[in-house]
Amino acid sequence: MQAHVTTMPAPALSSAATKKTNIRWVVVAVLFVITAINYADRATISLAGPEIAKDLNFNAITMGYIFSAFGWAYVIAQLPGGWLLDRFGSKLVYALSIFFWSLFTLLVGAVGFFTGLTAVIVLFSLRFLVGASEAPSFPANSRIVAAWFPANERGTAAAIFNSAQYAATVVFAPLMGWLIHSFGWHWVFAVMGVLGMLFVLVWNKLIYDPKDHPLANAAEVTYIEQGGGLVSMDQPKDDGSKKEGPDLKYISQLLRNRMLAGIYLAQYCINALTYFFITWFPVYLVKEKHMTILKAGFVAAIPAICGFVGGVLGGMISDAMLKRGYSLSVARKTPIVTGMLLSMTMVACNYVSAESAVIFFMALAFFGKGIGALGWAVNSDTAPKQIAGLSGAVLNTCGNLSSITTPIAIGYIIESTGSFNGALVYVGAHAFVAIVCYLFVVGKIQRVTLK
């Protein structure tokens, strides 16, 4: 397959030109907030997990499968979600996504009315529907960033929305811990569900395509477009007709590309760290370190703060390297490899007993994970222009296979060994494989041109 780089530095506008607006940063702020809500809704089940297991008599293996329910649907729905984004545009599809994942989150709170196998089926089904509804979210984030940002700001923009996964824990884990402690686990799902549905109103008010946004002037659109932003992605064709859905045959070209295959495998490994954190980490604090749920909610926020700082820092470092003349490959790979090396330090928690030491190593590991989580910036750099949504969906499909395997594998490890030691080694090994992928498989990072 032939490939070439099409990114370029964003040009400076002349002093005589109209001063450009900066609405693209408002857009990425909206992406940050909705992604924080997105991840909080994913994590509701982990913080409520110990109480749900106790109330409904679920063992670790059952909880592992319930934790994975989100992932099964999230993966299955990626390609349809990406197709819908390319066919109908980001604004409409994302708005419907937010509404329905929030509705199904709200309904999870009613699972307590069921018992036994019925409770397992209902809970699994609702979490499955949450996953299906959230499927377009990250491809849409990447798609919106590709449309709204020039190449030399794209790493920072993608890092901002990606770092929201940590902000979700910082803001919502203490809140959810308090709700569970004070009112019961059902209320977590009710509060988060209502919050998401209300945010649809904000979304519809502030999100538009670059050329259609009422607050973005022509100078900003020109700046984005000349810097490599795909500002016409969701515009009608020249003849005024509507866009057709992308050709799914392009998927085989993506999967046969060595660079993309390495990126996809690395994303799977990086996401294994994410899904340990949003599924089993609170349980680890409660079961292995004997913390109360309330304390675990606050303690979980500490590594999350470090992950948030690392996430923003990783994007800023990458973009700064680009502006100083480093190649796109070096600028993206350096933070990724460094971050994954730091993430491997979580294994040290197996050899310390003090709570402060455990928190330190987990914080360091998730700081590193944040720095290295540039997969979505890389996707914005490499996605073919014709199928930006579908390309992001393929990345997210491969990456989120770990949302299925990680919770289940850890459940079996805990049930068979009686501790989390093997689980931490399992997760840390994924960081090592991600390093190998970017150093020895990916090669030069560049935009793919379809045949």
Taking the CA atoms of 180, 183, 186 and 187 in sequence, report the sign of the dihedral they define. Answer: negative
Sequence-distant (6+) residues with CB within 8 A of 133 are: 97, 100, 101, 104
Distance separating alpha carbons of residues 280 and 58, to the nearest angstrom: 15
Q: Give per-residue burial for 149-185: e unless 16+ CB within 10 Å, then b.
A: bbbbbbbbbbbbbbbbbbbbbbbbbbebbbbbeeeeb
Distance separating alpha carbons of residues 146 and 385, to the nearest angstrom: 9
200, 203, 209, 214: CA torsion to nearest 10? 120
Judged on CB neighbours under 10 Å (0-12, 13-18, 19+), 240 is exposed
Per this entry, what is the length of the chain? 451
The architecture in CATH of the region 23-233+243-440 reads Up-down Bundle (1.20)
Q: Could you tell me which residues are beta bridge partners of residue 156?
A: none
Domain boundaries, the chain: 23-233+243-440
Tens digit of pLDDT at every position of the chain (451 positions): 444 444 444 454 444 457 888 888 998 999 999 999 988 887 788 778 778 888 887 877 888 788 888 888 888 888 888 888 878 888 899 999 999 999 999 998 888 777 778 888 888 999 999 999 998 888 888 888 888 888 788 888 888 887 787 777 778 877 887 888 888 888 888 898 999 999 999 999 988 888 888 888 888 888 888 877 777 766 665 555 555 556 667 888 888 899 999 999 999 999 999 888 877 887 788 888 877 767 776 777 788 888 888 988 998 899 899 889 899 999 999 999 999 999 999 999 999 988 889 889 999 998 999 899 888 789 878 888 777 777 877 888 888 888 788 888 998 898 889 888 999 999 999 999 999 999 999 999 998 887 7
DSSP3 helix / strand / coil % (the chain, rounded to 5): 75, 0, 20
Distance separating alpha carbons of residues 238 and 242, to the nearest angstrom: 10
Distance separating alpha carbons of residues 450 and 263, to the nearest angstrom: 17
pTM over 0.85: no
Contact indicator for 378, 394 with CB cutoff of 8 Å: no
Cα of 195 vs its chain's centroid, Å: 19
Distance separating alpha carbons of residues 38 and 30, to the nearest angstrom: 12
